[in-house]
Chains A and B, each alone.
Chain A
């Protein structure tokens, strides 16, 4: 059984035996990727809010 804390600086191997980077580097990259994707989602959702404001006002005016 692999213990993650046993040798934290040891390079880890992924499928196919390709060197993928040490666990701290991998964790950092995963964090950046996760933050990036969440940021894009949050920003797009926020921009949709303005479109919704416009639509609701136009709808109220039409009504």
Chain B
């Protein structure tokens, strides 16, 4: 029997769950430590050992102190507070290895990079990326892989029993779909699908790397890192030139395939893996993605063609389409230099990429943006309203959309989709304004803000370690808000405001 809701004790349960997340993050730090040891990077290994131990002690203490409150019934507000706080505290503890290794100019830059990884954005403020240790590179890509699946999802995978607030924490992470009735089983299924593709993707990129002439162990590490980044639509790469470094059609093709798959809804993956393969073409998100990618490719191509940026079809496809689909799936992999967007691409192509970044991938996936599901819902609502105007008064029409099964469109669904889209637009506007107030041109500000709001990571060259600290903080908050789809962070703010008012 579930214990009754105890208002004086629920904060203990909040701390218990935060402790569980911290404990899992601490345990993760031993993998980069092992990689560092294998490559003889002893000082890096020691830094990971110190960070891992401290994080385990911190998380373990919270867990032990508040273990008796683990079955406390948490409401929506408290569960969302757990999620938002876990992401924020997780960012601070995961920044420690970066800070100890001295790869950043400040602790703020370390936190920015961790949040960029967790939210699968892909902006990076790291110094001398081309000469990073293998341990630090492993850590960067692991953060983005775990962030893509979700930190609560990670914790749920290791839990044996779900309490009542668990599902609400899962929803607070921007994943509001259950693949299975039990949310713990849902999390395990998400990890199972990701791990199957992790094996397949790493092997494909490993062989691609060897075919490019890389040493087998280096090809394996690059394949593993790039896959983790592609699948979680993260956009981190081990080299400063990102995917351009490889100058390989094969590498580009494999990464495109996996970041498109990474941007799909986990419910869609699950349906296909359980035999419902027709869902791929029937799902509203697939239809929405097909329509938007076709239209935006047309606009991008017209824009690039007008300025004669790329002389032939292959170059147009490899550069133009790659950046567009990387932006649309919110991955952020680049095969051009950041400044080329501003100096060569022109306004029309930039406009198409900005729209693509704002729309983003699918709901309940590793991608960011408004999400294809919401675009589909809003379009269906628009169709319903137009049809209502044309039909005789008093006649009732029902609008349906297909997402795993046929769903009747109701006003509540439309309202919640509209609210999230409006929240994204407001956040994007604030980001753009902040950039312009810091003295950056309009086009650069719009592009970089859309990239942060959509958790994309494509950069026009605005965000760097030399950017003003206030802009870094604003972008960090935007990435956090957008990844958790606003509600969790707003719940945390309300929780803190209530505490302050009471005291």
Contacts and interface: CB of A to CB of B under 8 A. Distances in A.
A50 B293 contact: yes
Interface stretch (A8-16, A19-27, A34-42): A34-42
Given A44-B261, A53-B293, A54-B317, A61 B302 contact: yes
B297 A43 contact: no
A63 B301 CA distance: 12
Given A55-B317, A59-B313, A43 B280 contact: yes
A51 interface: yes
B257 A57 contact: no
A47 B257 CA distance: 6
Contacts of B316: 58, 61-62
Interface in B265-308: 269, 272-275, 277, 280-281, 286, 289-290, 293-294, 297-298, 301-302, 305
B321 interface: yes
Contact of A38 (B200, B277, B302): B277
A53 B261 contact: no
B257 A61 contact: no
A2 B293 CA distance: 55
A54 B325 contact: yes
Contacts of A46: 280-281, 286
Contacts of B294: 53, 57
Contacts of A59: 313, 317
Interface residues of B, number: 35
A24 to B, nearest CB: 18
Contacts of A61: 301-302, 305, 313, 316
A32 to B, nearest CB: 9
A57 B261 contact: no
B260 A47 contact: yes
A30 to B, nearest CB: 13
Contacts of B301: 57-58, 61
Interface residues of A, number: 23
Main SS of chain B's interface residues?
helix
Contact of B313 (A47, A53, A62): A62
A54 B196 contact: no
B253 interface: yes
Contacts of B253: 51
Interface centre among A39, A46, A47, A58 (most CB of B within 10 A): A58
Candidate in B289, B320, B324 with the most chain A CB atoms within 10 angstroms: B320
Contact of B273 (A39, A53, A57, A62): A39
Nearest to B301: A61
B317 A44 contact: no
A35 B317 contact: no
Given A55-B317, A62-B316, A42 B280 contact: yes
Contacts of B142: none
Contacts of A55: 317, 321
A50 B274 CA distance: 23
Contacts of B406: none
B321 A58 contact: yes
B285 to A, nearest CB: 12
A38 B313 CA distance: 33
B248 to A, nearest CB: 16
Nearest to B200: A40
A61 B321 CA distance: 12
B268 to A, nearest CB: 9
B256 interface: yes
Contacts of A63: 313
A58 to B, nearest CB: 4
A52 to B, nearest CB: 11
A48 B320 CA distance: 17
Contacts of A62: 305, 312-313, 316
A53 B296 CA distance: 11
Given A36-B196, A58-B313, A43 B290 contact: no
Nearest to A54: B321
A54 B316 CA distance: 10
16 contacts: A35-B273, A35-B274, A39-B273, A40-B197, A44-B257, A44-B261, A47-B260, A48-B257, A51-B321, A53-B290, A53-B297, A54-B321, A55-B321, A58-B313, A59-B313, A62-B313
Given A39-B273, A58-B321, A62-B313, 6 more contacts: A39-B277, A40-B196, A42-B280, A47-B260, A55-B321, A61-B305
Q: What 9 A-B pairs come out closest when comparing CB atoms?
A: A62-B313, A54-B321, A58-B317, A47-B260, A61-B301, A39-B273, A39-B272, A58-B316, A42-B277
